[in-house]
Every structure is written in structure tokens, then in C-alpha cells.
Amino acid sequence: MKRKNLSEEQKEYQALLQSVTDYVIAVNRNYQIIMANDLFINKLGARSEGFCYKAWKNRDDKCDDCLVEKSFRDGRVHQNEEAIVLKDGRIAQMLIKSTPVKDDQGKIVYVLEAATDITEKKRLQQELKSVKGNLEKIIDARLNHLQKSEEKYRTIFERSRDALILTDSNGKIMEINRAGVEILGYRNKEDLLDLTSVKELFKDPEEFYQFQKQAFGEGVVTEFEVRLVGGKSRSFDALITSNVILDLIGRIIGYVIIIRDITKRKKAQQQIEMRNTRLAILNAISMTISNSLDLNEVLNSTIDKIRELLESDSVRIYLLDGKRNVLNLAAHKGLSSEFISKSHIRHREVGAGFLGQAVLACETRVVDNIEAFEDSYAVLMVMECVDSTAFIRVVSNGQPLWVMVVSSYSGFKFSANYVDFLTAIGNQIGVAVDNANLYENLKRAYQKLKEAQEQVIRTEKLASLGKLAATVAHEINNPLAAVLTYTRLMMKLMSRGRFTQERLEDIARYLTIMESETARCGEIVKNLLAFSRQPKITMETSSIEELIEKTLVLISHDLEMKNIQLVKEIEPDLPKIKCSSRHIQQALLNLLSNASEAMTEGGTLTVTAKRSKSDGFVEAVISDTGCGISEEDLKNIFEPFFTTKEEGRGVGLGLSVVHGIITRHNGSIEIESKPDEGSTFKVRLPTVR
């Protein structure tokens, strides 16, 4: 390197230049490098000698925008950024500054060109720039998003039909939406923001503490039902949902409170509940009244149900006597006997007083302040301490039928709803009353029919008795004639003096005949009495098996005499029957005697007892292998006095007595018979349940 004579100062200066991290050269007016520091020499190499433009840019002549020239010209510092190719081929971005160096006279001696490698700085700047650019974009996007979200939330906030409230941690309202102002019944938002705390919105402070406790403890409150009080002291039922708002370190900074006015919902719910209760009541009443057809029972049970379910204090029901134009008290409950004993309470002319007018009015009338009316009948009600009374007219088939009077003593006033409901109950009972009336008519018609039937039976019985008298006369006449004949004969014999042995034998024979004829008369009379009296049956629980056994004892001797074989088939553990044992025994005896009589030359008598195929009955069957009955005779077999037996052996009352007894026990009797083969009598009797 070519060195000039340097002053001391210059030497110092050069030493200083060596120590800096910049590339430094000193250039004279001819652009020749007169000095270069080591860094410059090392990094730019041979270019440190010669012209500065060669050194920096490897050019052969001066740069267009030469800094050295500028500094020489105006004596100032100039700078420029240049890309410089270093010795190792790396391109460095340099900030080159030209600083004029002057001598003592102020003359510019040379210009120092110092270049700082700003490649890294530039790169960083570039990077920073791009990061900054990205960051800005991100921030922009975020801001945009936030703005949109905020708009969205604001819209939701404002459009919500529920009240949305944001409070600080002390419960002071910070923000509330339009619906909130409306729901809470305030004129403007500011009034709500002025409240010290949401606590002021709670009707019962205790409810607020509960709400606060839950919000504080659990961080969330869902569907908390409270009564709130808003502007103009309007109170209403509300559902509150709330969430706490936390900051980054989990401290409560406020609450979001959502309030829903549930007044309408509650009202609807109450209405549904009321409707359900009423339906249940109507149902209960219709169940009660459909269980009976007895008018009295229907009315009384209805009154009971109304009082029980509707908490009404007294109920009266009047039936209209359309012919006399009078309402008659048919049923009542809850009124003093003194009140009820009054004749105008028991009966009321149509049109007289509220009650009498109720029949004519189309609508149910409610009287709350009865003392205010100039109604002579009202005095009684005032004395009875009646507070509110509903007069309900009930119509059936378009005709007023009766009036129901429901009273309360407790200050309870009948609402329009309540009255509608009472009217519905009234109509329901109207139907029942109609049915009960129909039933009453039916009952009367049935009673008449029964009386007519009894009359026919009596007449028939008389006819039977006439027939009986003739038969009896005939039946009794023969034995009596025999008795008379033999009596006369004996008297004649006696008038002839002493009796010979032969005569005595005759007399004994006559007496035997007389005895048997008299006994026959006795038998006829006994059967006749059994038929005509038909004494009242007294029922007891008996075993059919026992009754059969007892009856068979009576006839066993007879069976033995006639060489009849007895077969018994009794099912074990037969259910008991409810009967008059004496009568059933009589019926069985008649059947067994007939069977025995049918087997004149011996045979088999089969007696069986078993459960009947039809439920709740036992069956006793008596079969014989006797003469049987012709088809023709079978038709008349139960007719009184029908007999095929020769005179003196049968009177034809046995089977008609059997039939009477069995039917009066609600049983039945059937016959199967074939001439010369035998007969089977099947008796069915109901068992005890």
C-alpha cells in the first residue's frame, strides 16, 4: 500500500480506523485510495489500492452517484446503500458514508469512505417487515372477526326475547338488552343501569341469596324459578339462568343473567292442570252416577263428590215438577236443618226468588252480595251465612229439569270458569237424572207387570183349586162312600143282635177297608195342603248328598219289598247348596216314590249327584228302569192332577209340587223317558258361591 506522509494526528486516526468494524478507506480528490483499514484490505483485497470505484465496485471509472465527489463538492457527509461483492464472492449490503476530512485551513484533504455491512441488518429488517406484515394481517383478520362476532353477539343480545343482563362482580348491571328493559317493565335502560344490584329485581331477598349462593358456588345456575319485581312494581314469575364471567386468572368479574318471563307459561300450565283436575272430577262424578240408577243415590253421590272435590260448602238439588210449576228439594248437604225445614227452601214456585228465576234463566247465575238484594228469600241465605251462590239450571232434552244451588260460606267467589265447570257437571248429572227417571219408569212398569202376573197366577190358582176341588170331591167321595157303606153295614149287623164269629171277621175286614180308605182321604188332603199353601221357603246351606241319603232312608224299605236294586253314584266334595232342606227332601221323595211306583216288577234305581256342566250348579239324577212315560204324557207331566195311575193310587200333584219347589230354588228339572225302558229326572240346583 502506498503511504503518504501522515501527520501524528493522521496516524492516530489510522490506528482508530483499524479498530472499527467498518470497512474504511481515505480517498483523495482524484478518487485514489490513500489509506485503507485492515478489514477493507482483508475483505476487498487488491482493490484497496488504486481508485475507490475500482475498490468498491470493480469499475473502471467513477460512479454516477459518487459520494466522494459529493463530499469534496459540498464538504458534507453523504451516504448510500450499495451491494458490494467481497473477495470471497459474497455480496454484502453496505451502508457507505463519505465524510470529508479537512486540514487546519478548512480545506478538504481527503474523504473518508466508511462502509458498514448491513446485510444481516437488512435481512432482519426484511424478516421483520414480513413478520410485521403477517402480524398486521393476522391482527386485521382477528379484529375483523372480533368485530363480526361482536356484531353477531350484539344482534343476538339485542334480538333475544329473553332478558340478557351483564353485571359486574357486585351484581351491578353493566349492560341489558331491549327485551330485558321490556320484560322488567322499565321505561329505559338507564334506570336499570342505575340500580345498585340485580338484587333489587328479586321480590324475595331470600331467593336472591339462594341464587347468588348457587352462582357463586357452582359457577352456573340453570332454570332457577323466582318471582321478580320490575318497574311499576309489577311482579312476575321468571326462570333465571346465569353464568359467572371469569378473568384469565379465574377471578369472578361479572355475571351473565338470562331472565325468561314465564307468567304466560305458568298460566297455561295452571290452566292445563285445572282442566285436568276438572276432567278428573267430571270423570269421578260420571263414574259415581253411572254406578247407580237410583235417582236419590245419584243425586246424593253427586253432591258428595261436588263438595269433596270442589270444596263447596253446601249443595242443593231441586227437581222441577212441571205440572205444578214448582221446584222441589230433592237432595241437599251442608245446610242447617233449620234452613232446610223452611217450606220455601223445600219448595219454590217457578219464578220466585233467585232459585225460582233460575229455572227460567238460560244462564247460570252467581250471586255474591246476596244481602244487597231485595229478595224476601235472600234473608234466609244471609242468616245461613252464605257468601257466594251459584244457581245452575240443568236442561235435559231442551226442557228445564232441575236446579243445582252451590254455595260457599268462606268468602270464595265463583269465577266464570268455575261456573262453566259447575254447569258442565250439571249437564252430566242431567243425563244421569234422565237415566234414573227412565229406570224409575221401567221399575214402575215392571212392578205393574209383576202385579198383573200375580193376578193371572192367582186366577190360575183359583182355577186349579176349582179343578182340585172337583178331583178332591171325586177322590174323597169314593173312599167316603166306602166308609159310609161299611159303617151302615156294620150298624145293620149290630141291629141284628149278637155277632157270630163269621160276622166278627166281616166286621174286621170292613174296618180294615174303612181304615185304608180314611188314610187315603188323609193323604189326599195332605198333598192338597202342600200344593195350596206353598209356605215361605227358609234358606239354609245344605249338602245335596246328605239330603239324598236322608230321603233314601225313607224309601229303602219300600225298595226292598219291591225287589228294586239301588245304585248310588255321588261325586265327592260336592259344593253346598242354599235351600230349604225340607222342601228339597220333599221333592226328592216325590221323584223317588214315582220311580219306585214305576217299577212294579223290580228293577234298578240309580241316584247320582255331581257338579253340573253349567257353572255354579249341582245335578241330582234319579233314573229308573220302570214303565217309562209316553211322549203324549210327557207334555202334561207337571200339570197339577195329571196322573196315569189308577184311582186311589195317585192324585197327580207330586211332580207339580216338585217343579214348584225346584223353580223357587232357581233350579231346573228335565225329564228323559221311553215307554217300557225307564225314566230319568235331572234336577239342577245352584250352589253357594
Contact residues for ligand ADP, defined by CB under 6 A? 590, 594-595, 598, 624, 626-629, 633, 637, 642-645, 650-656, 679
Nearer to ligand ADP, 158 or 677 (CB): 677
- Report whether 396 contacts 434 (CB < 8 A): yes
3-class secondary-structure state, position 421: helix
Sign of CA dihedral 474, 476, 477, 479: positive
User: Which cell numbers in the block locate residue 184?
Assistant: 322488567
- Give the shortest CB-602-to-ligand ADP separation in angstroms: 14
Nearer to ligand ADP, 280 or 519 (CB): 519
> If you search the block for the grid coordinates 221323584, which residue do you land on?
591
Nearer to ligand ADP, 430 or 654 (CB): 654
Nearer to ligand ADP, 230 or 654 (CB): 654
Cβ-Cβ contacts under 8 Å for 46 (sequence gap 6 or more): none
Question: Which amino acid is located at 230 in the chain?
Answer: G
Question: Which amino acid is located at 522 in the chain?
Answer: G
Cα–Cα dist 29/14, whole Å: 19
- Give the shortest CB-453-to-ligand ADP separation in angstroms: 24
Cα–Cα dist 306/629, whole Å: 67
Which uninterrupted H or E stretch holds 144?
helix 119-159
- Give the shortest CB-681-to-ligand ADP separation in angstroms: 7
Cα–Cα dist 682/664, whole Å: 16
Q: Report in angstroms the alpha-carbon separations of 156 from 146, 159, 492.
A: 15, 5, 141
- Report whether 17 contacts 101 (CB < 8 A): no
- Give the shortest CB-438-to-ligand ADP separation in angstroms: 44
Cα–Cα dist 579/587, whole Å: 12
- Give the shortest CB-547-to-ligand ADP separation in angstroms: 19
- Using Cβ positions, the residue closest to ligand ADP within the complex turns out to be 654
- Give the shortest CB-331-to-ligand ADP separation in angstroms: 54
- Give the shortest CB-473-to-ligand ADP separation in angstroms: 17
Phi and psi angles of residue 22, each rounded to the nearest 5 degrees, phi first: -90, 165
Beta partners for residue 73, in sequence order: none
- Give the shortest CB-485-to-ligand ADP separation in angstroms: 25
Nearer to ligand ADP, 48 or 625 (CB): 625
Cα–Cα dist 673/680, whole Å: 6
Nearer to ligand ADP, 265 or 635 (CB): 635
- Report whether 257 contacts 240 (CB < 8 A): yes
- Give the shortest CB-537-to-ligand ADP separation in angstroms: 20
3-class secondary-structure state, position 543: coil
Residue 450 is given by DSSP the state: H
- Give the shortest CB-626-to-ligand ADP separation in angstroms: 5
Nearer to ligand ADP, 356 or 626 (CB): 626
**Count of CA atoms in the C-beta half-sphere (13 A) of 134:** 5
Beta partners for residue 586, in sequence order: none
Question: Which amino acid is located at 677 in the chain?
Answer: E
- Report whether 348 contacts 337 (CB < 8 A): no
Beta partners for residue 237, in sequence order: 227
Nearer to ligand ADP, 306 or 591 (CB): 591
Note the Cα 99 to chain centre separation in Å.
104
Nearer to ligand ADP, 331 or 548 (CB): 548
Which uninterrupted H or E stretch holds 401?
strand 399-408
Nearer to ligand ADP, 193 or 473 (CB): 473
- Give the shortest CB-478-to-ligand ADP separation in angstroms: 15
Nearer to ligand ADP, 384 or 624 (CB): 624
- Give the shortest CB-549-to-ligand ADP separation in angstroms: 20
Nearer to ligand ADP, 426 or 603 (CB): 603
